[in-house]
Chain A
């Protein structure tokens, strides 16, 4: 029998990296005492008949679990109860300062899920003592003996770690988008499909052709670069020559994005596909922070890619030329920079980086899907805009902010709204600092 502390009694959201299946019965005794009569239980047995109660809340991976059967026995009662849609249950009992036996029927849990507690022979049978308060809650733990009740600090640290790793991945794709915007002025909606392209190619080589994933990834990244070059040669360069307006280019990129997206669906179908090794077991780092090996490799690859890229941009002649074109294309051209050549290289880099980000994103989600890039695109735009349109390092900062907001916001808002949070942050920041975090004032019309 355990009492959940009131601070953690509210249902915790599923921790993404702690992919251990766990279910817990969290008694909401504190909440009940605060709100007498207000919180009606979905399934209450004999609570009107008897003055005292034993209650709980069954959750599986943070989601309420209905239809789980429990039994409360002792002091003359033997009551069966089934959890309601909200996972809650309560049983009225006749005596306080007395013991009851609560049994959870494991056969009503999903297959492969069981009550687990180390050192206890029958963990699904618990003894609950109704104290002088007349109410008691019962917790069960399922999985590898872990509690679903984690301290706020631990959860926060874990979310920050996840947020940084997601932000790094976002940054790889965002920098490409930002460079393209800076050098050509295109708000490239088809960047989403360049992201998906990487994952799709990795899938084709690793899953369909059966090559090892560490061979498939470099091939996918290289082909991503080729893809970027091809798009530039086939579409963007002719349109630049034709002096097509920027808004037109943006809408062309939307058309391209639709065409490519459905082409992917044509070839790989509408389902989610896993890349090899997507379900590797989590490794405990410190506190409650767990990461899978894949996640750690992903972070290392992201950091390495970003460092190489930053070095290229700051120290090489080509990098300097790229930044010069971002600042002022005509002036750059007048000072002898071959704008077309630099733009071509920018497209190659953007394509390769997007492909890499796509592969990492396929592991993050997890799984790749024909429209996964579109899911990612708004976050990319948010990152680029937040950092300051067209500034490469701004995109990096913006991506980290977005990554953190996505993960940390789930402490307070529902998980299915986590991709909405950064967009709200974007709108609010634009209200006060429209040029973005690293942008310069005069860039805004």
Chain B
């Protein structure tokens, strides 16, 4: 068993685009769930709209990639608006069901063969990288040290991802520590109390939904930026995994989502490297290597349950800041 390889693969995921995409999505979800108390179960839909908005605007309309990013975010904002108007006045569990349903509708619309020309249906979309790679200022070659050696494209995606995360985290940090953020937390704790102070609760919730949705869409775009887009990724499980990452780090914190995503992916990568290696080495004789691949998801589910029961505020969260009031 090659421990060095396993550890190297694990360490490499710390700054993988997938980790950063989860970090952005979880940050968006922190605005929704952690700060505004909105039980958004459709974060996968926001990510899908970001990714497909990006890919479709490049492939179908021939826009430059940075316009594609804008289109992806705008698509998610429109989705948030459409979703928010009927549901933000309802109780939390209604919002959960409507958002999860809407995200699934979005996914099915991208999956159906009716729009195959634009969405690629089951095959998804790929081959939209030319423009993005063309603007890469990094000269060709491999850079980095230890487990973090990537080529110029790999670094270009990662640098953009880190910039996006820093900017998004700064924005969220400033927002939630502003008077606006205090009203938002007030809505989370007691909506009626805030309403009695003359605040327009609906407007605040809508603003939170839009901001978080935009950040989540950015995560979806980052996820798709140098890979491909496939509707099979944006299933409800993705939402649940993002929730796991968020709750692990701390729902009502700015840095919790980032930390949670890193831990989530590091553990996933570690297990996905370790377990098949253990099976290959004959240490786990009762399972096959395919079965070993599913074990980490079973553990993810169990971890999610344990976090929510025993440390609902997450690693970085403050127990006093109750995030589960309703």
Contact = CB atoms under 8 A, between A and B. Distances in A.
Interface of A: 187, 235, 239, 242, 244-248, 250-252, 254-263, 265-266, 269-270, 374, 378, 381-382, 385, 389, 413-414, 416-417, 419-420, 423-424, 426-427, 430-431, 434, 444-445
Given A251-B243, A416-B111, A423-B105, A259 B302 contact: yes
Nearest to B300: A258
Contacts of B98: 426-427, 430
A252 B100 contact: no
Given A255-B304, A262-B294, A416 B87 contact: no
Given A255-B308, A434-B90, A266 B291 contact: yes
29 contacts: A187-B93, A235-B305, A246-B326, A250-B39, A251-B247, A252-B308, A254-B301, A256-B305, A257-B240, A258-B297, A260-B301, A262-B294, A263-B298, A266-B287, A266-B295, A382-B97, A413-B114, A414-B113, A417-B108, A417-B109, A417-B112, A417-B114, A420-B108, A426-B101, A427-B102, A430-B86, A430-B94, A434-B90, A445-B92
Consensus secondary structure, chain A interface: helix
A445 B108 contact: no
Contacts of B324: 245, 247-248
Given A245-B325, A251-B243, A414-B112, A187 B237 contact: no
A384 B263 CA distance: 36
B268 interface: no
B301 A248 contact: no
Given A247-B92, A417-B112, A258 B326 contact: no
Contacts of B114: 413-414, 416-417
Nearest to B91: A445
B309 interface: yes
A62 B236 CA distance: 30
A374 to B, nearest CB: 7
Interface pairs A-B: 6 shortest CB-CB: A259-B301, A258-B301, A255-B304, A255-B305, A445-B91, A262-B297
Given A251-B304, A252-B305, 11 more contacts: A244-B309, A246-B326, A247-B92, A250-B39, A255-B306, A259-B300, A259-B301, A260-B301, A266-B291, A419-B108, A423-B101
Nearest to B95: A430
B309 A239 contact: yes
Contacts of B104: 378, 419-420, 423
B6 interface: no
B96 interface: yes
Consensus secondary structure, chain B interface: helix
A385 B97 contact: yes
A258 B309 CA distance: 16
B161 interface: no
A160 to B, nearest CB: 23
B290 interface: yes
A266 B298 contact: yes
B50 interface: no
B162 interface: no
Contacts of B256: none
Interface in B266-312: 287, 290-291, 294-295, 297-306, 308-309, 312
Given A258-B304, A414-B114, A427-B86, A382 B294 contact: no
B304 A248 contact: no
A259 B97 contact: no
Nearest to B287: A266
Contacts of B301: 254-262
Contacts of B86: 427, 430-431
B235 to A, nearest CB: 8
A331 to B, nearest CB: 21
Contact of B87 (A266, A382, A423, A430): A430
Interface string B26-55: 000000000000010000000000000000
Nearest to B292: A266
A269 B92 CA distance: 36
A424 B106 CA distance: 10
